[in-house]
Amino acid sequence: MAGMLTATIPSYAGTDQNPEQSTAADGWDFAVSAAELSDLCDNSLQGAREAFATIEQDSAPATLQRVYGAHDAMMLDLQAIQHVWYLKSVHPDTEVQAAAEGCIEDYSDFVVSMSLSPDFYRRVAAIDTASLSQAEKLMIEKRLRDFRQAGVDRDQATRDRVRALVAEITELGTQFDRTIREDRRFVEATPAQLAGLPPDFLDNHPVNDKGVVRLSTDYPDYFPVMKYGADDDLRRRLFMARMNIATPDNEKNLETLIKKRAELAALLGYDSHASLAMDGLMIENPDRAHAFLSEIAGAVQTPAATDMNILLQRRQKIDPGAEKVQAWQASHLSNLVRQEQYALDAREVREYFHFDRVQSGIFELTEDLFGVRIVPWETATWHQDVTAWEMREGNQAIGRFYLDMHPRANKYKHAAHWTLRTGLKDRQLPLSGMATNFPRGLMEHTQVETFLHEFGHLLHNMFSGTQQWLDISGMSMERDFVEAPSQMLEQWVWDYDTLRRFARNEQGEAIPRGLVEKMNRSRHFGEAAGIAGQLFYANLSLNYYNREPGSFELLPLLQELQARYSPLPYVEGTHFYNSFGHLNGYSSNYYIYQWSRAISTDLFSRFKTQGLRDRQTADTYRRKVLAPGGSKPAAEAVADFLGRPFSTDAYRDYLGQLRQQ
């Protein structure tokens, strides 16, 4: 029917012959109503339930093809609704977003029912693994672990309670995310209060009929004001607005989410939700996570204090009576220090980073490093801002993706990548969706870094569709590895040879080498303080989920941890945790960002030796780290690339150098 959402599974080699663009039929028709999406979801899940019942009831000898073949066929049919996680974050129709949220809850319930099925567990456990490949053996080992972790070996009453709890947790998480997404706050400023803001920002923010400018808490407004705005009170008011997004509505949502997750963990025999969430990851358990975070905290404590002392001295030139640097002052003061001590004017830097040129430059970097081509993909999308692209190797399509890059009402507030479809060798192409909130014009260099970070996730999906089974294809490795490739790719935005190719000002002049050298000289100022802030977030995430609910209150614990780890003091009247979306998606595991950074630093050591634009090194990295997906443990993939086991030594050495900056 017209407008119905449909999915196709294209040939792995499928592409049209036009070298300049793709018109391949793929993906979905996004001109869909909420009712049509709900119907599609119901029909798809009903078909999956019937297919799964057949798998459970199969009495033929259990073989890999018999069990996993049927399972993957069922999951491939479910791909018609796999993109609902993306739709609920980016679709402009709030009714479609709501339908997507409902579908997510039903989809998640079905997935949980599979993990709690004793019949399916017995079928997988009965597969003879003697003749299987190592990747296939690992796939079965991980699935059996997931079964036991879900409680498949418990009695029926316990399994029923597990399923009910997971449904509640999914619903709470959806509500938590929705509250953040829908709460867009504003402050007003007079033209005089916008002193220090770049000309293009002022041009894009004319005064209204009341003689004031309305500023939102969205990134394109927030970050320039924090960095360039000379008016301390304006920065404070905008900071307060942002730090109270989803307050007070999410307070109860988060408290209940923590409680329900703890109840689920106890039911499954774990000491805490953190123990459950880390089971099967590289870090293994909360004790190791805490030890790792403590190690990093010790390494950055002194350089972070040095950073903050420099900022305080600069603040005292403005306010001689200042005794500390407040959170809304740090970015502005850091920018002043870079201007005065490193002769770096960030307003000059941003003149070279127009969004369109940045996107083209990141595409070109990808093509140069990995020997691929990115061409426009002519296909329907959900909003006029969205662009669609196809990635090719030779004349063969290897993946497709959507980019939704600018802010609008009711859209996801941050930057992220979603796997819309996992690639399978010789069977289907990977499909990705990426969403950010970048300005349409000039970008901050840190936003360029964020663009490349999220694009790194997208590349991981594009390059990892090389396995034959869904369980080990795509980004199916341990979750505390997935940030490492993206964090490593951030290094290229500091490389002059990379930047000179696309960083150009309005006159078409390439960014000067001297300016890039200034950027690199000032790069590490404030970095230790930034890492200390990340450690605060990681410890907040860990401690909210590693303690007995009821033994703490959200705000006092945040204040305690902020005083211990963050270089910036708590600002009275703020409730950051209510808008800290990772407390739902990553729960206890925000440590992943520092852990992955340690891995990425080690991975990057080979590029530093052999050259950032060395095609052979990049090809080896693609084949050994990205392509395997979940077909081997992440530590093995890293060792294959480095020629030795992963070590945190490179990151510790890096942090040690910050003391000398």
Paired sense of beta strands 387-393 and 373-376, if any: antiparallel
- Determine the Cα–Cα distance for residues 120 and 118; give it in Å rounded to an integer: 6
| Mean pLDDT, residues 590-619 | 96
- What's the whole-number mean pLDDT along residues 456-471? 96
* Pairwise CA distance, residues 109 & 166, whole Å: 7
Cα angle at 148 between 260 and 111, to 5 degrees? Answer: 65
d(CA 419, CA 430): 8
pLDDT score recorded for residue 659: 65
Q: Which residues pair with 243 in a beta bridge?
A: none
- Residue 373 banded pLDDT, cuts 50, 70, 90: very high
What single-letter amino acid sits at 348? E
Contact criterion met (CB below 8 Å) for 25 and 390: no
**pLDDT over 70 percentage in the chain:** 97
User: Could you report the per-residue pLDDT of 270-304, keeping only the tens digit for each?
Assistant: 999 999 999 999 999 999 999 999 999 999 999 99
Mean pLDDT, all residues of the chain: 94
Return the pLDDT at 3: 34
Residue 28's pLDDT is: 79
Domains of the chain, by residue range, sit at 34-180
Segment 9-27 mean pLDDT: 63
Query: What is the rounded CA–CA span in Å between residue 410 and residue 493?
Result: 30
Output phi, psi for 594, to 5 deg: -75, -40
**What is the per-residue pLDDT across 222-265, written as a single tens digit (0 to 9) for each?**
999 999 999 999 999 999 999 999 999 999 999 999 999 999 99
Torsion 150-156-162-164 (CA) sign: positive
Over range 372-385, report the average pLDDT.
96
d(CA 88, CA 34): 11
At residue 278, the pLDDT reads 98
How confident is residue 660, by pLDDT bands cut at 50, 70 and 90? low
List, for residues 477-503, the tens digit of each pLDDT value: 999 999 999 999 999 999 999 999 999
Is residue 485 helix, strand or coil?
A: helix
pLDDT tens digit sequence for 312-346: 999 999 999 999 999 999 999 999 999 999 999 99
Q: Which of 10-19, 142-151, 498-507, 559-568 has the lowest mean pLDDT?
A: 10-19
Q: How confident is the model at residue 439 (pLDDT cuts 50, 70, 90)?
A: very high
pTM of the model: 0.92
What phi, psi does 641 have (nearest 5°)?
-80, -45
Residues 58/62/65/70 CA torsion (nearest 10 deg) = 30
Query: DSSP per residue over 28-75, as a string?
Result: ------HHHHHHHHHHHHHHHHHHHHHHHH--S---HIIIIIHHHHHH
Confidence of residue 610 (pLDDT cuts 50, 70, 90): very high
- Local confidence band at 10 (pLDDT 50, 70, 90 cut-offs): very low
pLDDT for the residue numbered 393? 97
Reported as a single tens digit per residue, the pLDDT across 353-370 is 999 999 999 999 999 999
pLDDT tens, position by position, 534-575: 999 999 999 999 999 999 999 999 999 999 999 999 999 999
Helix axes 286-318, 527-545, angle to 10 degrees: 140
Mean pLDDT on 357-386 = 97
Question: CATH fold of 34-180, please?
Answer: Glutathione S-transferase Yfyf (Class Pi); Chain A, domain 2 (1.20.1050)
Q: What percent of the chain has pLDDT over 90?
A: 93
* 84-138 residue pLDDT tens: 999 999 999 999 999 999 999 999 999 999 999 999 999 999 999 999 999 999 9
Report how far residue 144's alpha carbon sits from residue 152's, in angstroms, rounded to the nearest whole number. Answer: 10
Buried/exposed 225-234: b ≥16 CB within 10 Å, e otherwise: bbbbbebbeb
Structure tokens belonging to residue 246: 């989803």
Q: Give me the pLDDT at residue 18, please.
A: 59
| pLDDT for residue 661 is more than 60 | no
| CA pair distance 181, 579, nearest whole angstrom | 9
Q: What does the pLDDT read at residue 321?
A: 97
